[in-house]
Chain A
Amino acid sequence: MSARFAIHVASAALALLTFASLPANAADTVDPAADAKVFKKFFTDKFPKLGLEDFVNGPYSMNEDLHKQWEEKEQFPPYEFSLEAGKEMFSKPFKNGKSYEDCFPNKGIGVRQNYPYFDEKEGKVVTLELALNRCREANGEAPFSYVKDDMAALTAYMAFTSRGKPMDIKIPGDPRALEAYQKGKEYFYTRRGQLNFSCATCHIQSPSIRRTMNIAISNITCPMSATDCRFPARERGHEDRDAQVYLRRDASGHGCYVGIGREH
């Protein structure tokens, strides 16, 4: 009887020991700055000939022919229609007379690079889409679906007003922010869906001249480019020609980690 008792105590102690070690382990591995360095090094090692500012343009920075086609397209960009629709939507006041300008700093112009941000009062990540929908609901309008054209046009317009500005995602030292960051990071690397791909499968494991280099390796040095406004982007590698829109929204909802990989 006492032997059994001893075994029970021993196994209980072992269990306690194992569980006790877990939280400590998780807490000291969240280091966005260190992650950013590793991330950056991975890409600069892989593509040594590219300048830092070229990464944001993806395949267009790596292939002369593509670059020429891209520059030509910029004269008559296919995203123009979405941009105009977005501008119209943005300028139109709500039923109660107010408008999106009242919800954003600097009237919503040239602020897109600051999203998503961590709201320390709320303890929550606020994406641009969330901020826009909150603005709508606060003024008596129905929120937009994240995966339909309306929201895409609005965010495309706002991104266009920030064209040329580097993404400026800030991750405060607040443990809740770091937790959100960690969640985002885990999401980024988790395989999911029918094809069992993670975001990393295409964006880290296999970037090439053909696709998916649109990851800013430093949210400080990589300016937003025309690729932010490609709605819908048919020349991308995503099956559905509108898929880039979905991916964009999807990625934007997942923690501050997206600040390091610019939301694609």
Chain B
Amino acid sequence: MASTIRVRATSTGDTTEVQALIQHPMDSGFVKDAQGAIIPPHFIQELTFEYDGKAVFVADWGGGISKDPYVKFAFKGGKKGDDLKVSWVDNKGATDTTTAKIQ
């Protein structure tokens, strides 16, 4: 099955810019369905980007983050061809991880 994470990292000079789009329902737990029952909370709680074994970006999320979240950030360092590892854990304990090469 395809990964839920799409990531693109580009390195220019001494900074690497990262964009990621994650497929996830991100249900807050406050929304009701058509029958009036609460849709249970189902959202990513922790999102981590690792480069060279170190975490360069960590996100602690709650139910307020929208469906299919998009993240963009830049970090110092990173060379072309190196790996960038992305992983998330949600409130149900599910996880996904992917590794992309920095372009």
Contact = CB atoms under 8 A, between A and B. Distances in A.
Contacts of B70: 73, 76, 78
B19 A76 contact: yes
A80 B6 contact: yes
B67 interface: yes
A75 interface: yes
Interface residues of A, number: 10
Contacts of B72: 72
Contact of B21 (A80, A234, A241): A80
A197 interface: no
A189 interface: no
Contacts of A72: 72
Contacts of B96: none
A234 B66 contact: yes
A150 to B, nearest CB: 16
B18 to A, nearest CB: 11
A81 interface: yes
B68 A76 contact: no
Contacts of A234: 66-67
B42 interface: no
A78 B66 CA distance: 11
B41 to A, nearest CB: 17
Contacts of A253: none
Interface string B1-38: 00000101000000000011101000000000000000
Nearest to A79: B68
Contacts of A73: 70
Interface string B50-75: 00000000000000001110101000
A108 interface: no
**Of B8, B19, B66, B68, which is in contact with the most chain A CB atoms at under 10 Å from its CB?**
B68
Contacts of A80: 6, 21
Nearest to B66: A234
B66 A81 contact: no
Given A81-B68, A241-B66, A75 B8 contact: yes
B19 A232 contact: no
A71 to B, nearest CB: 13
B72 to A, nearest CB: 8
Nearest to A73: B70
A81 B19 contact: no
A234 to B, nearest CB: 6
Interface of B: 6, 8, 19-21, 23, 66-68, 70, 72
6 contacts: A72-B72, A75-B8, A76-B20, A76-B70, A232-B67, A241-B67
Given A72-B72, A76-B21, A234-B67, 19 more contacts: A73-B70, A75-B8, A75-B19, A76-B6, A76-B8, A76-B19, A76-B20, A76-B70, A78-B21, A78-B68, A78-B70, A80-B6, A80-B21, A81-B23, A81-B68, A232-B67, A234-B66, A241-B66, A241-B67
